[in-house]
Copies of this chain bind each other. A is one copy, B any other.
């Protein structure tokens, strides 16, 4: 046995904690889209391919968890800019690892299917 019960238990909990914050179908995708820089609401809707209802909910959760800021701009029809926070940079490692894995996995699947 490599790990004793305690450390595995901890690992499992930590994974769960992370999933509670950025799990689900959209959050990491949204963060990766916002990596480009600020975006407006409808822009995000289009870029991520998400419906407004869900986007609104996801953004609120991301904001609550300190990963995104929402800034109301003083424009004629009010606009809003969503932007990643400084804290969100702590997720880079996760995002980068997932992006890398997705790419290599796609390669692998493609080559196995030829």
A interface with B by C-beta (< 8 Å): 1-3, 8, 10-19, 21, 23-25, 28-29, 32-33, 35-37, 47-48, 87, 90-91, 93-106, 108
Contact A36 B95 (CB under 8 A): no
Contact B12 A33 (CB under 8 A): yes
A101 partner, pick from B1, B25, B35, B94, beta carbons under 8 A? B94
- Rounded to whole angstroms, the CA-CA distance of A102 and B24 in the bound complex is 15
- Rounded to whole angstroms, the CA-CA distance of A105 and B22 in the bound complex is 11
A interface majority secondary structure: helix
A98 partner, pick from B29, B94, B104, beta carbons under 8 A? B94
A17 partner, pick from B8, B11, B102, beta carbons under 8 A? B102
Contact B8 A32 (CB under 8 A): yes
The residue of chain B having its C-beta at the shortest distance from the C-beta of A13 within the complex is B102
- Rounded to whole angstroms, the CA-CA distance of A106 and B100 in the bound complex is 26
- Rounded to whole angstroms, the CA-CA distance of A13 and B28 in the bound complex is 11
